[in-house]
A = this chain, B = another copy of it.
Amino acid sequence: MIQQQYPSQLLEKAVQEFSKLPGIGRKTALRLVLWMLRQDDADIASFAEAVSKLKAEVKYCKVCHNVSDSDICPICADHRRDQTTVCVVENIQDVMAIENTQQFQGLYHVLGGVISPMDGMGPADIEIDSLINRVGEGEVQEVILALSPTMEGDTTNFYIYRKLAPLGVKVSVIARGIAVGNELEYADEVTLGRSITNRTLFEEK
């Protein structure tokens, strides 16, 4: 294929930036950029502002590491929620997926990844130490491990369990209603909700 010659450097630059986004190639990027050219100035300014503000101003909750507009996220700050149960998830999408089931009233802990030697992710690269410290403060009575049922998820579950066991806290895992190998965030709400309700005690095999 011949390298496409854009008639404008500004267009070329915008297409380049859009085609960096995951799942967006140059043809789609061009379509998005040309669509933008047809919108009002104010709409595009609003888009650009949302993007730059997002990165510049977004915070992460100091307790659970979820994204937040303040130092403590609305979930951690909500005292009607069960402060003694902490659900450990891989990422922010997983928090939103579980919140959507409306079957969990405890708090979260976002690891920001799972242990994956293949990808160079070790225990120190994710929020495990902060989880141990948080449980060590004494208020948490149960930790629910809600990672995707993949090899990396299982490895991380096991690692966390070994770290938490000496603290005498109850450690459970979500029921494996989810087909092994699937990503948690794509599970349907009923299955995901049930897997939280039917959680079982973590057993060292």
Q: Are B37 and A93 in contact, with the CB atoms below 8 A?
A: no
| Interface 1/0 per residue, A25-62 and B, CB below 8 Å | 00010111111110101011111111111111111010
| A110 and chain B: residue at smallest CB distance | B7
Secondary structure of the A contact surface, majority rule:
helix
Q: Are A54 and B68 in contact, with the CB atoms below 8 A?
A: no
From A16-24, A81-89, A120-128, A170-178, the one touching the partner chain is: A16-24
A133 at interface, CB cutoff 8 A = no
How many A residues face the partner with a CB closer than 8 A?
62
From A69-77, A136-144, A149-157, A160-168, the one touching the partner chain is: A69-77
| Interface 1/0 per residue, A174-195 and B, CB below 8 Å | 0000000000000001000000
Which A residues between 98 and 142 are near B, CB-CB below 8 angstroms? 99-100, 102
Residues in B with CB closer than 8 Å to A37 are 54-55, 58, 67
Residues in B with CB closer than 8 Å to A36 are 51, 54-55
Are A35 and B22 also in contact (CB < 8 A) when A67-B8, A95-B7 are?
yes
Residues in B with CB closer than 8 Å to A20 are 43, 47
Measured CB to CB, the closest approach of chain B to A131, in angstroms, equals: 18
Residues in B with CB closer than 8 Å to A6 are 96
Partner of A7, one of B7, B21, B74: B74
Q: Are A31 and B35 in contact, with the CB atoms below 8 A?
A: no
Measured CB to CB, the closest approach of chain B to A160, in angstroms, equals: 22
Q: Could you tell me which A residues sit within 8 Å of B by CB distance?
A: 2, 4-11, 13-14, 16-17, 20-23, 28, 30-37, 39, 41, 43-59, 61, 66-69, 73-75, 91-93, 95-96, 99-100, 102, 189
